[in-house]
Structure 1
Amino acid sequence: MTAYAGDGEGFAVTNPFSLVDVHNEWDPLEEVIIGTATGARVPIPDKGLFTLEYPEYGTVDKIPSGPYARHIVEETEHELSMLCDELTKIGVKVRRPEARDHAAKLATPDWQTDGFYDYCPRDVFLTVGRTVIETPMVLRSRFLEPFAYKNMLLEFFESGARWISAPKPRLGDDMYDMDAEPGRRLGNLEPAFDAANVMRCGTDLLYLVSDSGNELGWKWLQSALGDTYTVHPCRDIYTGTHIDTTIVPLRPGLVLLNPERVNDNNMPDYLRGWDHLWCPEMTETEYAGEYPYGSPWVGMNLLVIREDLVVADERQPALLRALEKHGINVLPMRLTHARTLGGSFHCVSLDIRRTGTLETYR
């Protein structure tokens, strides 16, 4: 691996101080945003929501729209608060988004919807070096989700961080194809991707091409980051939402992989020389409603605190043992309703600052 030495004009070299400063998934965590379940709801039905997130319900009108049950929200908020407390105890600064009314309507000339939640800041922003990027999210109901973090963004900007936003996608009905096979349902008419489709490994980033991130999104991100970085498109690995239940870098040269999705044929070339920790079979966990919003593999959705410590689901003993065999200690916690809300510890967090420098891990 080599440290990046820029000439002052590259994307990675900006202001000498910035509250935002993170280069990978494993450097020691200094500051993080943890989401909130307050006000969480399933948005009103629309073509995009059905096509990308709820096709198992058969028709658009059967989407279970409305607020999540009170006990789900309250239990999740309690567990998120416990997570915040544990992170604070080990010296990590924690921020939380402001409460918002997700029942409020929002509209463009093409559509109208209500909101979703602020549970998963990982989906909304991508932090790369000293830059925070608002990504062009694929669901209409999340169009204005960055507003929950506006005061933080202003503070980051004033500290010296670079703050940019991808072009807002139109998200017209022609962007969603209900009849396409999984992984092809999100159109390629304009850049669209959730930030959680990306994993950072220094000067290399992995970008999942799927129903939550299209080819134009990959091209836009590479263009925005410039020559300092290489964004590797990961195709035909996982058709669904986000990369962090499929590929989880743990430290330089070691990656946790989902054995149901990753194999020798579709392994990203960038990872072929790494050591592969194949995730053990997940212990089945509970969910509310007719169908889960997250698969059992949300159990491998963990937050790396540093190379030898992660936050992971206490209900996954086989995974915890596997991590410990590789010299990684575990802070065991739980998000009881992770499969109902669609996210666990990596999803509900956004690392703002880690101790480290930009390096190349090849």
Structure 2
Amino acid sequence: MSLVSAYNEWDPLEEVIVGSAIGARVPRAERSILSIDYHEIGDPAALPSGPYPKDVVDQTEEELEQFCTALAGLGITVRRPAPSDPDAVLRTPLWETDGYYDHAPRDTVLVVGDLLIEAPMVIRGRALKQALYRDLMLEYFHSGARWIAAPRPRLADETYRPELPEGQRLANLEPVFDAANVLRVGTDLLYLVSDGGNELGARWLQEAVGPQYTVHPCGGLYTAAHVDTTIVPLRPGLVLLNPERVTEENLPEIFASWDKIWCPELVDIGFAGPAPVNSVWIGMNLLSLSPDLVVVERRQVGLIKELEDKGIDVLPLPLSHARTFGGGFHCATLDVRRRGTLESYR
């Protein structure tokens, strides 16, 4: 029986991969990183290239270990990526760069049912991050999971257009997307068209998953990167929405009749270094353990109250450098197996 099975974002979680802060670094100033994650920094010389501060890495890894312990205590199988070489150089005939962080397996591989899809990632420094999961992927494959990879993108200079407004900086030249641009809602897959994924990526994904699923390219929501700080399906009929980005006009049609939680003002937990990777909205980047239990950063008391008012229990845990690493509890995980079946929620 396949160890891989996840059809949505909320069914009871049984197995998960949790990322790592060990060896995290910011790549050298190059076109992809300056177009996407650190565009607002302005001067390339101000990019904090090199290893993340040791105290930031140590605290984050300690908090991730606490997170893993809590998940294991609930009977959830927890896996971790293989260690990376922080000094490795990535080189192709078109470009050269350093590695990035391994904090966010969510961006790397997409799970759709029993299918593992290696994403054609946007940032050059993360182009080969799937290698950290190779042993796990092989184990899942041997258990009966299906396993494919998107065509490896060239990520040439013309892919990136830092001179254009946000949402237009990723050219539509070849399929490119991070897996965190996709939300699973049963037979419907929402795909955010943004600087984290282009329209060709959505077209390729539809071909990959076949007619059993419908991929919905969504534009005009969040233009910078991933979808999971904008729309968070909590259970059938209930969705958490970002009030700065989502309106009744641009809300994906599937959620029109759902009950909505408009995320309250979030606590800014701060960041290390000259600039964050994410806004304060990373606080709504929660992980559902079941339709009735979620993990939320413990300082987001307003959001916790809103969730509890809807009958959802909250496991409050710390993730102090979510803005520094660009990922909350959803980003820092990849749900491999959830107990449930494929359904339509329309």
CA shift, 1:57, in A, is 1.6
Counterpart residue number, 1:214: 198
Counterpart residue number, 2:66: 82
- Quick check: 1:111 aligned with 2:95? yes
Matches within 5 A, 1:1-362: 17-362=1-346
Alpha-carbon distance between aligned partners in 1 of 2:72 and 2:38, rounded to the nearest angstrom = 36
Contact 2:292 2:311 in 1 (8 A): yes
Counterpart residue number, 1:10: none
Contact 2:192 2:219 in 1 (8 A): yes
Alpha-carbon distance between aligned partners in 2 of 1:57 and 1:239, rounded to the nearest angstrom = 17
Q: Indicate the larger mover: 306-315 or 268-277.
A: 268-277
Alpha-carbon distance between aligned partners in 2 of 1:81 and 1:208, rounded to the nearest angstrom = 31
Normalised by the length of structure 2, the TM-score is 0.99
Counterpart residue number, 1:8: none
Question: Pairwise CA RMSD of aligned residues?
Answer: 0.7
Normalised by the length of structure 1, the TM-score is 0.95
- 5+ residue gaps, structure 2: none
Alpha-carbon distance between aligned partners in 1 of 2:52 and 2:274, rounded to the nearest angstrom = 13
What SS class does the counterpart of residue 260 from structure 1 fall into? coil
Q: Deviations over 1:15-36 (max 9, x none)?
A: xx21111100010000000000
CA shift, 1:340, in A, is 0.7
Q: Deviations over 1:13-58 (max 9, x none)?
A: xxxx211111000100000000000000001111111011111121
Alpha-carbon distance between aligned partners in 2 of 1:62 and 1:69, rounded to the nearest angstrom = 16
- 5+ residue gaps, structure 1: 1-16
* Equivalent AA in structure 2 for residue 118 of structure 1: D
CA shift, 1:103, in A, is 2.0
Contact 1:47 1:60 in 2 (8 A): no
What SS class does the counterpart of residue 316 from structure 2 fall into? strand
Q: Deviations over 1:241-264 (max 9, x none)?
A: 100000000000110000000002
What SS class does the counterpart of residue 36 from structure 2 fall into? helix
What SS class does the counterpart of residue 65 from structure 2 fall into? helix
Query: Runs (4+) of structure 1 moved beyond 6 Å?
Result: none
* Equivalent AA in structure 2 for residue 23 of structure 1: Y
CA shift, 1:102, in A, is 2.4
Alpha-carbon distance between aligned partners in 2 of 1:143 and 1:297, rounded to the nearest angstrom = 26
Alpha-carbon distance between aligned partners in 2 of 1:264 and 1:286, rounded to the nearest angstrom = 31
* Equivalent AA in structure 2 for residue 131 of structure 1: L
What SS class does the counterpart of residue 149 from structure 1 fall into? helix
CA shift, 1:291, in A, is 1.6
Contact 1:299 1:316 in 2 (8 A): yes
What SS class does the counterpart of residue 360 from structure 1 fall into? coil
What SS class does the counterpart of residue 359 from structure 1 fall into? coil
* Equivalent AA in structure 1 for residue 208 of structure 2: A
Number of corresponding residues:
346
Contact 1:279 1:319 in 2 (8 A): yes
CA shift, 1:270, in A, is 1.6
Alpha-carbon distance between aligned partners in 1 of 2:283 and 2:47, rounded to the nearest angstrom = 25
Percent of aligned pairs with the same residue?
57
CA shift, 1:233, in A, is 1.0
Alpha-carbon distance between aligned partners in 2 of 1:178 and 1:348, rounded to the nearest angstrom = 27
